[in-house]
């Protein structure tokens, strides 16, 4: 009979290929320069320069999921102790869509953080709108009427806002009423 005593500790391994500064991690460089044994199967790669790390094992995934759930329960407990409801933190489809909507509005410069200048990121806005469009296609027939309505209204408003912003940026600046050539 297997021993019921299990070690609840687990090891977290950073598998990212790049540092926050965008440089190749030193560990990755060392792995790439180490000669591979001739009999070892070669990993499939997207390109020779950027090998894809292997997927986490089922055990690693389970350990990570358990740690995530425990951390979430701890956070929920702290939220409840502060007098708020942990239900307010639950992610729903509508909250997810609202998050994407707000992100696109920020990227279009139509919303801004308090006491800051609006910044326009048209490429980011287009990608966010395209992501919502992709979600619309992929979730067709799987949403409630309210979710579908929210998604379609958000998509419509964002597309219209995108067109308005891009048209406004393409227009030449308007005259202010004074002609410097007449002075």
Q: For 46-99, what is each residue's pLDDT tens digit? A: 555 668 888 999 999 999 999 999 998 899 888 888 888 888 888 999 999 999
Q: How many domains does the chain have?
A: 2
Is the CB of residue 109 less than 8 Å from the CB of residue 120?
A: yes
Q: Are residues 69 and 81 in the same domain?
A: yes
Does some domain include residue 99? yes
Does some domain include residue 176? no
DSSP annotation of 82 reads: T
Q: Are residues 145 and 119 in the same domain?
A: yes
Q: Are residues 118 and 153 in the same domain?
A: yes
pLDDT at 127: 97
Does some domain include residue 129? yes
Q: Are residues 100 and 162 in the same domain?
A: yes
Does some domain include residue 22? no
Lowest mean pLDDT among 41-55, 111-125, 163-177: 41-55
pLDDT at 33: 55
Give the mean model confidence (pLDDT) for residues 137-151: 95
Residue 177 pLDDT grade (very low, low, confident, very high; cuts 50, 70, 90): low
Q: Are residues 118 and 129 in the same domain?
A: yes
Q: How far is CA 113 from the centre of its chain?
A: 19
Contacts of 79 (CB under 8 A, 6+ apart): 85, 86, 88, 89
Q: Are residues 141 and 85 in the same domain?
A: no
Which structural domain range is residue 69 located in? 57-90
Contacts of 87 (CB under 8 A, 6+ apart): none
**Pick the residue with more confidence: 10 or 141?**
141
């Amino acid at each position: 009979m297997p021993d019921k005593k299990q070690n609840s500790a687990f090891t977290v391994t950073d598998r990212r290929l790049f540092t926050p500064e965008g440089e190749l991690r030193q560990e990755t460089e060392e792995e790439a320069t180490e000669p591979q044994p001739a009999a070892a199967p070669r990993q499939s790669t997207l390109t020779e320069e950027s090998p894809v790390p292997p997927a986490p094992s089922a055990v690693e995934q389970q350990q990570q999921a358990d740690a995530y759930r425990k951390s979430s329960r701890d956070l929920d407990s702290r939220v409840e102790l502060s007098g708020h409801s942990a239900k307010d933190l639950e992610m729903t489809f509508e909250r997810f869509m609202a998050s994407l909507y707000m992100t696109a509005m920020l990227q279009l410069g139509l919303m801004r953080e308090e006491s800051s200048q609006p910044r326009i990121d048209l490429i980011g806005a287009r990608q966010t709108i395209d992501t919502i469009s992709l979600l619309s296609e992929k979730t067709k027939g799987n949403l409630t009427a309210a979710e579908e309505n929210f998604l379609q209204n958000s998509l419509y408003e964002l597309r219209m806002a995108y067109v308005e912003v891009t048209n406004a940026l393409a227009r030449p600046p308007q005259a202010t009423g004074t002609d410097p050539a007449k002075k």
